[in-house]
């Protein structure tokens, strides 16, 4: 569907956001809620109770056909052929030179999902909104010679997420799916509040939670049911602003910040997602084997956590410098005040010589002033399990 | 959102109270506070320092961004709101009251400050 590039797209929940008085923002061509009230309150609600997100901007792509798994093994760096029905995998799609085109979650569907009738072997690939066209194009191009169909399903889904420790308790009474059997990074078809959904135990907040893929026509009904069910335990609507601080505390990379075409998964400290031992060749294999060797023998900059000594906030693009002589030793990729730590935090690529946790003399150039920062291991925050 | 009648406003979204004994109070408007989101750090001019109308005199950090604070008038800073330094969220919760930023002994005032009605129109458009 050709779209007017200047006109942001609106999700199926747009009227709900406006009735809630959300501050909206243009995000990757979508008009999305940035926050409803205080983004710090929304952040804390997800850490202590639950938050409800509209993530319908995410890019859903369905891959079906006898060669669906073989195509994904060829097109992506992960071992998708090993994925059992109902399981999900965090993976990446790279260029031939190893540069990251996007990070993805791939679900192997167990059948009975909403939307167009599913084939026996069916995978749902979820791309970042900003990269959905790129991923769709790359998968389509890489599908040549495979008996598989790549389908743009962005209009077939709305995506709602319930995140936070209270989310299982909110969802359980609304669904026929036994949530105790639904482990982290699995997904199952089922009804939620009478709405057919793919219920996935995934998220981007560092908390327990669920992502619910539903038909756009059912989105408002599901939102209302979740809002009502969660009210007693403190569920609040949450915008993209707190989603960013939640994922930053959890040390999760964001494409365009920690990930880019200029970096391989190994440069980003995520070499574990590249599976060289899978069957057949895949796009980027040769370059990634080199990158793996380089990361082993002569690591370039490493992705680290920084905690500010003061109250000024290190932001994306600021230089990391050696406090002693001001030499540039890295660059901040994401930074924000951390509600949980009570101090500003950042992720940054830092020269290996300065990247060990506890390294002294590391500062960030905050608009001309070299502010001391502590180098720490990621993540900043990990929930108790 | 209503902008108090007795205040005057700059196009950089600061408000200025009527001067008492030559000293006026400065803050940012509710419109600006809402646009910033949760303010987490306020760097304010020091008491005793001189500020110049239209020039930066501090900064406000919120979750998503950092914004310069502009002086709506020229003069000497007589007092800084330590409550806001300790708890910057006052800027969001009470921008026209407890979230005031600093007081200034006014030496010069630009002639383009806006009335409440003019500012309401300005910030809407």
Q: Which of A23, A40, A41 to substitute to test the interface with B, most B CBs within 10 Å?
A: A40
What is the C-alpha separation between A116 and A60, in angstroms, rounded? 13
pLDDT of residue A385: 75
CA distance B39 to B124: 22
Which chain A residues are closer than 8 Å to B42 by Cβ? none
Cβ contacts from A onto B, under 8 A: 41
Question: Domain residues for A314?
Answer: 301-385
Question: What pLDDT digit, counting tens, does each position of A155-183 carry?
Answer: 999 999 999 999 999 999 999 999 999 99
What is the complex's ipTM, to 2 decimals?
0.85
Which residue among A99, A134, A154 closes a domain? A154
pLDDT at A1 exceeding the cut of 60: no
CB contact under 8 A, A313 and B64: no
Q: Are A162 and A37 in a shared domain?
A: yes
Q: How far is A263 from chain B (nearest CA, A)?
A: 25
Task: Give me the pLDDT at residue A121, please.
Answer: 85
Among the partner residues B34, B63, B92, nearest to A336 by beta-carbon distance: B63
Nearest CA in chain A to B92: A38
State how far the alpha carbon of B71 is from the alpha carbons of A35, A255, B11, in Å.
29, 38, 11
Strand runs labelled E in chain B? 8-9, 14-16, 23-28, 39-43, 50-51, 56-62, 66-70, 74-80, 102-108
* pLDDT tens digits along A130-156: 999 999 999 999 999 999 999 999 999
Q: Is residue A321 part of a domain?
A: yes
Residue A122 has pLDDT above 90, yes or no: yes
Annotated binding-site residue? A211? yes
Nearest-by-Cβ selection for A312 from B34, B38, B61: B61
CA distance A240 to chain B (A): 11
User: Token pair 């680290």 is at which residue?
Assistant: A304
The reply to whether residue A241 touches residue B37, judged by beta carbons under 8 angstroms, is yes
Same domain, A105 and A170: no
Q: In the CATH hierarchy, which fold is given to the domain comprising B8-108? A: OB fold (Dihydrolipoamide Acetyltransferase, E2P) (2.40.50)
> CA B80, CA B26: separation in Å to the nearest integer?
10
Interface contact flag, B63 A34, Cβ < 8 Å: no
Residue A266 lies in a domain: no
Cβ contact, residue pair A312, B63, below 8 Å: no
- Write down the mean pLDDT value for chain A: 94
Same domain, A203 and A117: no
DSSP letters along A11-40, please? -TTHHHHHHTTPEEEEETTEEEEEESS-HH
Is A259 contained in some domain? no
Domain total of chain A: 3
Query: Could you state, in order of their start, the residue ranges of all structural domains in chain B?
Result: 8-108
Q: How far apart are CA A332 and CA A241, in angstroms?
A: 18
- Confidence band, pLDDT 50/70/90 cuts, at residue A283: very high
Domain CATH number, residue A81: 3.30.70.1400
Last residue of a domain, one of A184, A216, A249: A249
Q: What is the pLDDT of residues B62-102, one digit of tens each?
A: 998 999 999 999 999 999 999 999 999 999 999 999 999 99
Residue at A30 is within a domain: yes
Contact predicate B76/B83, CB 8 Å: no
Query: Looking at residue A5, what is its pLDDT?
Result: 57
Residues A223 and A310 in one domain: no
Nearest alpha-carbon partner for B72 in B57, B61, B87, B89: B57
* A135 shares its domain with A213: no
Whether residue A227 sits in one domain with residue A172: yes
Q: How confident is the model at residue A111 (pLDDT cuts 50, 70, 90)?
A: low
Question: CA distances (Å), A313 to each of A68, A367, B16, in order?
Answer: 45, 10, 28
CATH number of domain containing A215: 3.30.1360.120
B34 CB within 8 Å of a chain A CB: yes
Residues of A with CB under 8 A from a CB of B: 23, 34-35, 38-40, 241, 245, 311-313, 315, 336-337, 344, 367
């Amino acid at each position: 569907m050709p779209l007017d590039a200047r006109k942001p797209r609106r999700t199926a929940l747009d009227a709900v956001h406006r009735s809630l008085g959300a501050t909206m923002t243009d995000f990757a061509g979508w008009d999305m809620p940035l926050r409803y009230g205080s983004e710090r309150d929304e952040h804390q609600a997800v850490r202590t109770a639950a938050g409800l997100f509209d993530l319908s901007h995410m890019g859903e792509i369905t891959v079906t056909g006898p060669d669906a798994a073989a195509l994904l093994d060829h097109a992506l760096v992960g071992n998708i052929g090993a994925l059992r029905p109902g399981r999900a995998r965090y993976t990446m799609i790279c260029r031939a030179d190893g540069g990251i085109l996007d990070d993805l979650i791939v679900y192997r569907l167990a059948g009975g999902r909403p939307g167009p009738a599913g084939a026996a072997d069916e995978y749902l690939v979820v791309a970042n909104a900003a990269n959905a066209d790129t991923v769709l194009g790359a998968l389509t191009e890489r599908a040549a010679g495979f008996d598989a169909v790549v389908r743009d399903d962005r209009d077939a889904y709305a995506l709602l997420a319930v995140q936070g420790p209270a989310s299982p308790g909110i969802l359980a009474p609304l669904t026929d799916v036994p949530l105790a059997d639904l482990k982290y990074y699995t997904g199952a078809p089922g009804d939620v509040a009478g709405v057919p959904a793919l219920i996935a135990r995934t998220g981007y907040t560092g908390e327990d939670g669920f992502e619910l893929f539903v038909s756009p026509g059912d989105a408002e009904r599901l939102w209302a049911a979740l809002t009502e069910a969660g009210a007693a335990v403190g569920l609040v609507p949450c915008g993209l602003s707190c989603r960013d601080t939640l994922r930053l505390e959890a040390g999760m990379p964001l494409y365009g910040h920690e990930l880019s075409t200029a970096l391989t998964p190994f440069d980003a400290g995520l070499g574990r997602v590249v599976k060289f031992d899978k069957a057949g060749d895949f796009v980027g294999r040769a370059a990634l084997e080199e990158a793996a060797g380089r990361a082993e023998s002569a690591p370039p900059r490493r992705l680290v956590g920084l905690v500010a000594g003061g109250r000024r906030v290190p932001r994306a693009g600021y230089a990391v410098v050696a406090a002693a002589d001001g030499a540039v030793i890295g660059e901040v990729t994401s930074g924000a005040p951390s509600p949980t730590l009570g101090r500003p935090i950042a992720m940054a690529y830092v020269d290996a010589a300065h990247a060990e946790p506890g390294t002294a003399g590391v500062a960030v150039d905050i608009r001309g002033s070299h502010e001391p920062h502590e180098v720490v291991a990621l993540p900043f925050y990990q929930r108790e399990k | 959102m209503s902008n108090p009648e007795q205040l005057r406003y700059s196009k950089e979204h600061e408000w200025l109270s009527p001067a008492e004994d030559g000293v006026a109070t400065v803050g940012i408007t509710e419109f600006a506070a809402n646009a910033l989101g949760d303010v987490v750090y306020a760097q304010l001019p020091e008491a005793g320092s001189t500020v110049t109308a239209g020039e930066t005199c501090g900064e406000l950090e919120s979750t998503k961004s950092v914004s310069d604070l502009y002086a709506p008038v020229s003069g000497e800073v007589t007092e800084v709101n330590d409550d806001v330094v300790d708890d910057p969220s006052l800027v969001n919760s009470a921008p026209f009251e407890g979230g005031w930023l600093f007081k200034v002994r006014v030496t010069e005032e630009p002639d383009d400050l806006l009335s409440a009605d003019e500012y309401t129109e300005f910030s809407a458009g």
